[in-house]
Amino acid sequence: MFARIRRLKERLNQLGDLVRKVDDLQKAVGRLEARESSPRKKFPQYLHAHEFKVYSQWGEDGIIQFLVHNVEIPNTVFVEFGVQDYRESNTRFLLQNDNWSGLVIDCSPGDIETIRKDPLYYRHSLNAVCGFVNRENINDLLGQNGITGDIGLLSIDIDGNDYWVWEAIDSIKPRIVICEYDSLLGFEKCVVTPYDKTFERLKAHYSFLYGGASIAALHRLGRKKGYSLVGSNSAGNNLFFVRDDVVGSLQVLSPLEAYVKARFRNSRDRAGNLTFLGFEESLSFIRSMPLHDVESGHMITVGDLIA
């Protein structure tokens, strides 16, 4: 019995060593990509040319490397929330490759514990905090963890209240902001899911299709807060903003220029299984769901965007 347990532990240790080696290989490839990316010219419109993936979900690692090489950032501190166990995130490569420091927040105690047990937690200056982020508590969460003023980067991905939380943040002034947008909502209307302090995407609509803000709404908010839209990722789910006083010669885009019609298919049925609905099918599927028009203050439905 004890010999079997010992062998199992040995195999687990070997698996752990393999995982670490793969992790090191990922970082090495990322460093090579970063060296290739940093001297590139500032493309006139698209950040897509700079994409590469190390820890990010899509190509955000490469875009971030391009931006931090082209924006002066004296305080290399980041904040990211909605990170789950941090294996896939927008800031992990900044932490491990560029030795930035930062704060990550997620609502799952188990995921936060996993982050704290990861070797990166003692090798780098990272603080992982458990909390359900909303517009009422975000500034307190930041202040309680020593994050104030001029920082390098903020990444928001909470599947629903992203717009409302960014609107509420006034205790930090990040030079770069990454915020998820909802490609299904198009590029013309300034619309957003109505605020709900306890919003959870799967509870709001089982399809996982409902929850977020249009690119036009986030562009409008960015302008009010002093940020320029400099692009999106090629997947059509993340926007990149740079603070107006440091945007320099980076190309500033309109919502129409930056908009990407998302091709990924993450719709679910009531049992939680993927149904792979296309763009138009997905839009029609949630046509009765409410939206807040931030320009007029009126409530409309997703279906009004189709008409």
What residues does each domain of the chain span?
A: 38-261
Q: Quick one: average pLDDT of 62-66?
A: 96
| CA atoms in the 13 A half-sphere facing the CB of 75 | 17
* Cα end-to-end span (Å), the chain: 68
CA angle 60, 63, 66 (to 5 degrees): 150
pTM, two decimal places: 0.88
28-42, 149-163, 220-234, 263-277: least confident range: 28-42
DSSP 48: G
Q: Quick one: average pLDDT of 3-20?
A: 63
Indicate if the pLDDT at residue 87 is higher than 70.
Answer: yes
Q: Which residue has the higher pLDDT, 170 or 37?
A: 170
The residue behind tokens 């885009």 is 253
Q: What local confidence, expressed as pLDDT, does residue 152 receive?
A: 98
Record the tokens describing residue 286, joined without a space. 């949630």
Q: Which residues pair with 251 in a beta bridge?
A: none
- Rounded CA separation 259/182 (Å): 10
Total residue length of the chain: 307
Q: Share the mean pLDDT of the chain.
A: 90
Indicate if the pLDDT at residue 34 is higher than 90.
Answer: no
- Rounded CA separation 288/269 (Å): 17
Indicate if the pLDDT at residue 31 is higher than 90.
Answer: no
Q: What local confidence, expressed as pLDDT, does residue 306 receive?
A: 86
Query: 77-81 and 176-180 as β-strands: parallel, antiparallel, unpaired?
Result: unpaired
Dihedral sign (CA 267, 271, 273, 277): negative
Indicate if the pLDDT at residue 41 is higher than 60.
Answer: no
Q: How many CB atoms lie within 10 A of CB 193?
A: 26
Sequence-distant (≥ 6) Cβ neighbours of residue 7 within 8 angstroms: none
Sequence-distant (≥ 6) Cβ neighbours of residue 52 within 8 angstroms: 30, 33, 37, 59, 61, 62, 65
Q: State the CATH architecture for 38-261.
A: 3-Layer(aba) Sandwich (3.40)
